């Protein structure tokens, strides 16, 4: 697609290993020279993708960002070879990506309902910390032309805190991805933090208030809608997580839809919300994957997710690319129904 440069920002959801789908989408979007990334809001795996991309971009432009993402996800897969969370024989036999029949995963899931990470992981070991420190230059990230907004949830207040480039560290990224049933809270500036998905997955407000772009491309990981009623304990917990991790994002999107209808031209902040154009990359794959596969970091699985992400990115460009910079391609008015 040959067209004039367009400034856009990205909103990246979290979802563990499912973040490799986002990697694929980003890999495809970075090939488009007319798309200029102004800033990225990311949570959990979305925060990892955002930081790696922005650092790689600072080092070598769009191609540097693509290479940095590739190195990061390969390192994640390499580390996963030693993980106790591996697919069970039945899952492998049936070609499933879940860990549902993995004895260690099932045991961990049961233990997490009786014991906390402070009991089971007193040293708070997280293999991602070393990977982040090795693959991100946080000093260089401070000067990246791409502005970052990384969300973590303050355990004491329950409110989200948004960290910007100059505040980022491996601990901040780990805090944004800290599931409280798996890891101890991450302490930053004397405050404890959990996964940012509880307070913004991702946070849209700084994209509206602090960036010049009027186009936001949202790359979702957690399905907003899932057909059928969950019946098993695993299905119920999975759907509860999806609903809670989407709640704040939907609230902010609903605000944009409302502001379009009622914003006073003299209300500067209201006008900023009203003019934001929202786009969403289609993601039909996640509705077929269960919660346990978020912990599956096998290279074959990550590669499949990347390939699907690239296809989704291409579908997005084919369907909506010519409307970017002109109008929203997401019908936000649907969010106002029943309000």
List phi, psi (to 5°) of 181.
Answer: -85, -10
- Cβ–Cβ < 8 Å for 34, 20: no
Taking only the tens place, the pLDDT of each residue in 240-274 is: 888 888 888 888 888 787 777 765 555 666 677 77
For the chain, give the mean pLDDT.
Answer: 89
Taking only the tens place, the pLDDT of each residue in 56-114 is: 999 999 999 999 999 999 999 999 988 777 787 777 887 888 887 777 777 877 788 88
Taking only the tens place, the pLDDT of each residue in 212-249 is: 999 999 999 987 888 888 888 777 877 888 888 888 88
Q: What's the pTM value of the predicted model, to 2 decimals?
A: 0.92
Q: What are the angstrom distances between the C-alpha of 205 and each of 51, 140, 277, 325?
A: 19, 25, 13, 19
């Amino acid at each position: 697609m040959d067209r004039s440069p367009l400034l856009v920002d990205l909103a990246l959801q979290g979802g563990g290993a499912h973040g490799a789908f986002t990697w694929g989408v980003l890999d495809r979007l970075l090939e488009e020279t007319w798309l200029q990334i102004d800033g990225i809001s990311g949570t959990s795996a979305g925060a990892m993708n955002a930081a790696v991309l922005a650092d790689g971009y600072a080092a070598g432009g769009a191609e540097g960002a693509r290479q940095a993402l590739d190195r990061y996800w390969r390192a994640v897969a390499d580390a996963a070879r030693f993980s106790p969370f591996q697919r069970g024989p039945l899952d492998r036999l049936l070609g499933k990506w879940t860990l549902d029949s993995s004895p260690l995963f099932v045991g961990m899931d049961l233990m997490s309902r009786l014991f906390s990470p402070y009991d089971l992981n007193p040293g708070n070991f997280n293999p991602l910390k070393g990977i982040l420190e090795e693959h991100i230059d946080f000093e260089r990230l401070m000067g990246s032309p791409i502005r970052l907004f990384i969300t973590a949830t303050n355990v004491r207040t329950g409110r989200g805190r948004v960290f910007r480039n100059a505040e980022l560290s491996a601990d901040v990224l780990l805090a944004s991805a800290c599931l409280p049933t798996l890891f101890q809270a991450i302490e930053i500036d004397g405050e404890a933090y959990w996964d940012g998905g509880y307070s913004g997955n991702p946070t849209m407000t700084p994209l509206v208030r602090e960036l010049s772009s009027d186009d936001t491309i949202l790359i979702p990981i957690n399905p907003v809608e899932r057909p059928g009623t969950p019946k098993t304990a695993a299905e119920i917990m999975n759907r509860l997580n999806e609903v809670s991790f989407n709640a704040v994002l939907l609230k902010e999107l609903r605000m944009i839809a409302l502001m379009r209808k009622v914003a006073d031209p003299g209300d500067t902040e209201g006008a900023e919300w009203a003019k934001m154009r929202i786009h969403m990359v289609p993601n039909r794959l996640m509705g077929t994957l269960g919660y346990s596969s978020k912990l599956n970091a096998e290279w074959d699985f990550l590669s499949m997710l990347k390939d699907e992400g690239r296809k989704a990115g291409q579908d997005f460009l084919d369907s909506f690319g010519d409307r970017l910079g002109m109008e929203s391609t997401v019908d936000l008015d649907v969010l106002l129904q029943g309000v």
